[in-house]
Structure 1
């Protein structure tokens, strides 16, 4: 980028829960949050969800992937076109498959097409470089979480939990100067979050979600299933570590014998128990867990977290941040870091050998001449 000072960046996120596309503007120099701008949300239609869902687990060139990418690109251009005044954009795309053990990850959507449509530089393909260098490629929001901790002037270690399709947890020591500093962060995927609950609701009741956790709140948790879930190998691995949304699909079949309410309650408890198990890896205890993502709207989920965690559990709005837009803001922040040549992941967040930058920048043809 020619400009060296702060940028207004538009970030986007389309998560594995398939609600829709979040978009939010952020003013940043890639190190500090300087201002928050407007945000918007563009839901997917049910037909669009089905097109993307049919491509889950698939890699480039497989059947259905092109159609899914077209849905993702169209939805992103629609919502991003509502904004003005941004100098570049961060486009995460839609994760269809994630297999870091095999050195590959797949986010559908071409940032070059968006750059032409918006006539603005677009940073995208954030995960591939990390995975190719031996990292997990996820989670990527922790460097932004560190900036959030600085923004709210936190002084003691705290944790930020994102409950999307999969849960991911960031432990932060805000006393350190930068996210790549040794000991500043520890981050990893905790386990399932909304994805299996949403799948249950769709398969059994033809609903998109357990709104507010009402069904789970009326059911009884099968604690034996919760403990059996936690006995799986993933929960004994030392972080950093990451998951695909379908990694535990075989286990979920064990909930088939449960009633709708009991299955929802048990899957909700599994998500919360996975977080509590993950907290055992924290380098130092935290006094508060700040929750972001759609799962914080689920009262049963928040109650389970409160019961299972040894610290205060709060929605991130309690400290003045926007839990619906935090991931979109994160990819605005990461786009700025790419533009300024700063690292976007490190050993304690993805397990990559050294702090590295990810992402590529696509510029519209008119700006590339």
Structure 2
């Protein structure tokens, strides 16, 4: 049965809300629809950055110390506004949509203790939009021994099945968001976080230039790679540990202020992002022939240049999602729409090869629009 779903994604880069429409059966049939981005204003981004610090005090998943409850409400209301704007822009009504897949904002992720916290009130969003909402999709995976991330591989597999470029060849989908992650689709499906994505670069340029990110890699293009600084990151035990694990934004921290110039720091961290992907790819079952890159990092030419060069040394090609007819900005939001439909059908969201869960498991909580709970 086909369903029409809206996916909502607010990632670790804290830059805004991505909205995407999908018609799908939650399995092999995927019809991609329109999408849009709705950026956060600077003041709200600062509140979210503060929430990351406040959340460190959380010991139980439903705790909301400090002002986290207020931030959660505002975040949810902003998602509601985004859905209404999207419907208006595309001449749609709430009745046209079967379900909303709501990721929320991850403020704490500690898989080693089975704790993940995404701010977002699904019941409130259902009341605000008049549409059923599936949310909190990571927690059940962790209950069953998984890392709670990444969740997008099920959608990557559905996309790969429709790509002529990947026929019979192992392919890796690379999402470069705040944290980067890989999905390998070949003899089996394997997925894991690969290392820092844009988060270190964003924090570096915000601290040193007062801007939220290095647009297009312009700052990095003026710098050079500090090999010593790069190896401090790339020598991290995460890259050699045979046990793959998901990452929290705080697992890798930006360099100290005097470690490099603005330009050299941005260039070095761009190199770290690219090299981390290839180092983590050593844990895949076989070498991929193709890397398909999505997420904001694909727009940073320093990251993409290094990634193409490093992959080329191993005989692989690197392309953007757009080069194979996909949308690198909306893919994660599309995935949350797809996962919401799978959740409604009680289909697995995660698998032993993706999160380390003991067996394929579904997940997500359903908030009905009619009752709001």
TM-score (norm 2): 0.92
Q: Deviations over 1:87-140 (max 9, x none)?
A: 111000000000011111000011111111111110000111111221100011
In structure 1, the residue matched to 2:259 is 257
1:40 aligns to 2:36 (yes or no): yes
CA distance in 2, matches of 1:55, 1:169: 27
Tell me which residue corresponds to 2:67.
64
Contact kept? 1:54, 1:64, Cα under 8 Å: no
Contact 1:26–1:33 (CA under 8 A) maintained in structure 2: no
Alignment of 1:157-172 (within 5 A): 157-172=170-185
Tell me which residue corresponds to 1:342. Answer: 347
Q: Tell me if 1:137 matches 2:148.
A: yes
Aligned residues: 353
Note the alpha carbon deviations across 1:118-165, whole angstroms, 9 max, x for none.
111100001111112211000110110000101214321100000000
> Is 2:75–2:120's contact at 8 Å kept on the other side of the alignment?
yes
Is 1:185–2:198 an aligned residue pair?
no
Change (3 A) 1:367 1:321: same
C-alpha separation between the residues in 1 aligned to 2:192 and 2:258?
Answer: 29
Distance 2:170 2:100 in 1: 31
| SS, match of residue 280 in structure 2 | helix
Counterpart among 199, 206, 230 of residue 234 in structure 2: 230
Local SS of the residue matching 2:354? coil
Question: How far, CA to CA, are the matches of 2:129 and 2:29 in structure 1?
Answer: 24
Whether the aligned pair in 2 keeps the contact of 1:186 and 1:240 (CA below 8 Å) is: no
* 8 A contact 2:189–2:354 mirrored in 1: yes
5 Å-filtered alignment, 1:74-223, equals 74-81=77-84, 82-83=86-87, 84=92, 85-153=96-164, 154-155=166-167, 156-173=169-186, 183-223=187-227
CA distance in 1 between counterparts of 2:132 and 2:66 reads 30
Q: 1:303 aligned to 2:305?
A: yes
Moved over 6 A (4+): none
Number of the residue aligned with 1:30: 26
User: After alignment, is 52-61 or 269-278 more displaced?
Assistant: 52-61
RMSD: 1.4
Contact 1:42 1:75 in 2 (8 A): no
- Equivalent position of 1:178 in the other structure: none
Q: Answer yes or no: is the 8 Å Cα contact 2:77–2:128 preserved in 1.
A: no
CA separation in 1, counterparts of 2:197 and 2:347?
A: 31
SS of equivalent to 1:349:
helix
Q: 1:151 to 1:239 in 2, by over 3 A?
A: farther
Distance 2:208 2:121 in 1: 34
CA contact (8 A) 1:14 1:22 kept: yes
- Whole-angstrom CA distance in 2 between matches of 1:133 and 1:211: 40
Distance change >3 Å, CA 114–CA 225, structure 1 → 2: same
Higher alpha-carbon deviation: 94-103 or 32-41: 32-41
Which residue matches 2:13? Answer: 17
Structure 1 residue 273 corresponds to structure 2 residue 275:
yes
Give the counterpart of 1:287 among 286, 289, 300. Answer: 289
Question: Does the CA-based 8 Å contact 2:346-2:363 persist in structure 1?
Answer: no
Deviation at 1:254, TM superposition (A): 5.0
Equivalent residue runs for 1:320-335 within 5 Å: 320-335=325-340
Contact 2:124-2:372 within 8 A present in 1 as well: no
Asked if the contact 2:12/2:249 (under 8 Å) is kept, the reply is yes
Return 5+ residue gaps in structure 1 as ranges. 174-182
Cα distance in 1 for partners of 2:325, 2:228 equals 38
Corresponding residue for 2:365? 360
Question: How far apart are 1:27 and its partner, in Å?
Answer: 0.5
In the TM superposition, residue 227 of structure 1 has moved relative to its aligned partner by 2.2
| Deviation of the 1:365 alpha carbon | 3.0
Aligned CA distance change for structure 1 residues 73 and 367 (closer, same or farther; 3 Å) = closer
